[in-house]
């Protein structure tokens, strides 16, 4: 059995820990980064859900199944296993005692140029918030609407419970062969989210705003766009190893609904931090300031509120004992 390991660098603490554990169990492994490897049975990816997303952004071969490993006790949807419990599931990997789930990805072209496929969503917004963007939506080359709104989001089933849900979109079960489309805060009060088959060609074009517009890929990277975004189904789908059977699409959606209910009673800054932690995984206070663009004091007060309410817990970083990290509590 050949196992690949992917992480930030070969010398990363999590990568070295996984390598040591696999060696102890007599399993052959090597650091592969993001390079395609045809002889591997699986790839173990560090960094939690965010690490798994980054892996599928950068790899040229998504056919080898991936096991995501986080560095905290909060299990994710893509990465169910934390580093501390990794050794307890190695025998199951050795015996191939696991299930593999396939997650749809969206292939993206920006003004005709291919970008990497996304796992969650791709969105188009004005480069400045609170500024309207005009656009035309076409599905299979037929115009569906001409709209003025804050922007538009196209999501996969697993992405439907992230940004799309916050913007009023439907939650879609993981194995549904569809994509969701949401016009965010449309001036047309009758505008409703759409569900289209994942074989559709989705185009957002005739894009205009007072300032230039940007494509946001999985909430991470931003690319300037002049006129046209094209989205289709990416082949192959992302293959992710599932160890815990209780982490089903239904249970994950249930947690998302509970989280959405809790969000209604929080201050805006706390909402933003909680959604950022839920989407990005474990982060330091400095990371949260950088990601949310909120002032240091606002982030500090929001974290205190989330800690007091039990939504978030604070731990010491395994990478640097001087650093405190924050993550969503399991309960």
Q: How confident is the model at residue 135 (pLDDT cuts 50, 70, 90)?
A: very high
* Tokens encoding 84: 């501390």
How buried is 59 (Cβ within 10 angstroms: 0-12 exposed, 13-18 middle, 19+ buried)? Answer: buried
Of 68-72, 172-176, 247-251, 324-328, the least confident: 247-251
Q: Residues 184, 150: contact at Cβ < 8 Å?
A: yes
**Mean pLDDT of the 80-91 span:** 90
Higher local confidence (pLDDT), 21 or 39: 21
Q: How confident is the model at residue 91 (pLDDT cuts 50, 70, 90)?
A: very high
Per-residue DSSP letters for 148-179? EESEEEEE-TTGGGTHHHHTTPPP--TT-SEE
| pLDDT for the residue numbered 174 | 83
Does pLDDT of 256 surpass 80? no
Q: Residues 99, 224: contact at Cβ < 8 Å?
A: no
Higher local confidence (pLDDT), 269 or 263: 269
* Chain-centroid distance, C-alpha 30: 26
If DSSP codes are grouped into helix, strand and coil, which group holds residue 90? helix
Does pLDDT of 273 surpass 80? yes
Pairing of strands 312-316, 324-328: antiparallel
DSSP letter at 170?
P
* Tokens encoding 112: 């005709």
Q: How confident is the model at residue 123 (pLDDT cuts 50, 70, 90)?
A: very high
Its sign, for the CA torsion 225, 231, 236, 237, is positive
Q: Summarize pLDDT for 202-235 with one digit per residue, the tens.
A: 999 999 999 899 999 998 899 999 999 999 999 9
| pLDDT for the residue numbered 280 | 73
Q: Summarize pLDDT for 281-311 with one digit per residue, the tens.
A: 788 899 899 888 889 999 999 999 888 888 8
Task: Select from 201, 109, 104, 213 the least CA-distant residue to 159.
Answer: 104
Q: Residues 303, 273: contact at Cβ < 8 Å?
A: yes
Q: Summarize pLDDT for 57-69 with one digit per residue, the tens.
A: 998 778 899 999 9
**pTM of the predicted protein model:** 0.77
Task: Select from 294, 241, 307 the least CA-distant residue to 79.
Answer: 241
């Amino acid at each position: 059995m050949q196992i690949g390991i992917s992480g930030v660098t070969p010398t990363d603490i999590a990568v070295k820990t996984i390598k040591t554990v696999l060696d102890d169990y007599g399993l052959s492994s090597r650091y592969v980064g993001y390079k395609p490897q045809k002889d591997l049975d699986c790839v173990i990816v560090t960094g939690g859900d965010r690490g798994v997303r980054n892996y599928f952004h950068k790899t040229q071969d998504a056919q080898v199944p991936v096991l995501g490993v986080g560095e905290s006790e909060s299990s994710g949807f893509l990465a169910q296993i934390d580093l501390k419990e990794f050794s307890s599931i190695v025998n199951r990997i050795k015996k191939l005692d696991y299930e593999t789930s396939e997650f749809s990805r969206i292939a993206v072209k920006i003004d005709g140029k291919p970008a990497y496929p996304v796992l969650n969503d791709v969105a188009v917004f004005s480069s400045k918030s609170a500024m309207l963007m005009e656009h035309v939506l076409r599905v299979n080359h037929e115009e569906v609407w001409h709209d003025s709104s804050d922007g538009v989001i196209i999501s996969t089933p697993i992405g439907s419970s992230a940004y799309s849900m916050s913007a009023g979109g439907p939650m879609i079960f993981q194995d549904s062969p569809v994509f969701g489309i949401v016009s965010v805060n449309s001036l047309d009060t009758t505008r409703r989210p759409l569900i289209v088959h994942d074989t559709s060609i989705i185009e957002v074009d005739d894009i205009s705003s007072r300032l230039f517009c940007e494509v946001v890929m999985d909430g991470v990277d931003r690319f300037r766009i002049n006129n046209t975004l094209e989205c289709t189904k990416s082949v192959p789908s992302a293959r992710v190893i599932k160890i815990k059977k209780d982490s089903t699409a239904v249970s994950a959606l249930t947690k998302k609904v509970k989280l959405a209910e809790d969000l209604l009673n929080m201050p805006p800054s706390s909402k933003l931090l909680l959604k950022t932690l839920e989407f990005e995984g474990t982060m330091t206070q400095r990371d949260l300031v950088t990601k949310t663009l909120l002032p240091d004091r606002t982030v500090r007060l929001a974290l205190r509120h989330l800690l007091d309410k039990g939504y978030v817990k604070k731990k010491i970083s395994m990478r640097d004992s001087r650093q405190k990290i924050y993550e969503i509590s399991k309960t």
